[in-house]
């Protein structure tokens, strides 16, 4: 499992990076930021331009979707994902300072639809299908 010391080694001038995050957190695209975290931590290749159905590819060419929420201690309501178009989901919980608190990895087959194209992570968490791959 990866942790913040891994992240610190991968981001040049990490202390300056944290200051920029804090100073500009209201205008930072947190979706792109979480894609960046996952790409450097797990060796993902981000798609360019960003694809409607997936954000990145693994070294085995598996399609990855990155989703995020700010850490609240509760599982948030469903997010829109086209499960049939992806293989893996990274779910990033962000701290108020925009650094990752935890990152979970799910296989798309372990996620269920609720309604209107939204998915629920609840069953995957309850059945222990959520793999913690990063913890601060």
16 burial type by CB count under 10 A (0-12 exposed, 13-18 middle, 19+ buried): exposed
Q: What is the dihedral of CA 54, 78, 30, 63, to 10 degrees?
A: -20
Local structure of residue 84 (DSSP, 8 states) = G
> 36: which 2 tokens?
């960046």
3-state secondary structure of 30: helix
Domain assignment of residue 87, given as a range: 4-135
The domain tally of the chain equals 1
3-state secondary structure of 57: strand
Of 29-33, 53-57, 67-71, 124-128, least confident by mean pLDDT is: 67-71
CATH number of the domain that 42 lies in? 3.40.210.30
pLDDT per residue over 84-131, tens digit each? Answer: 899 999 999 999 999 999 999 999 999 988 877 788 888 888 999 999
At 61 the pLDDT is 96
Nearest to 111 by CA among 74, 72, 71, 79: 79
> 86: which 2 tokens?
């992806």
Instruction: For 34, list phi and psi in degrees, rounded to 5.
Output: -70, -35
């Amino acid at each position: 499992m990866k942790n913040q010391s891994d992240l610190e080694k991968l981001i040049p001038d990490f202390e300056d990076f944290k200051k920029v995050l804090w100073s500009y957190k209201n205008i930072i695209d947190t979706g792109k930021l979480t894609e960046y975290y996952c790409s450097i931590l797990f060796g993902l290749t981000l798609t360019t331009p960003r694809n409607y159905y997936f954000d990145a590819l693994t070294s085995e060419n598996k399609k990855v979707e990155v989703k995020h929420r700010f850490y609240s201690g509760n599982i948030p309501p469903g997010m829109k994902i086209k499960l049939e178009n992806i293989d893996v989901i990274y779910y990033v919980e962000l701290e108020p300072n925009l650094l990752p608190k935890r990152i979970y990895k799910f296989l798309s087959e372990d996620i269920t639809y609720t309604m209107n194209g939204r998915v629920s992570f609840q069953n995957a968490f309850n059945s222990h299908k959520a793999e913690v791959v990063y913890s601060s």
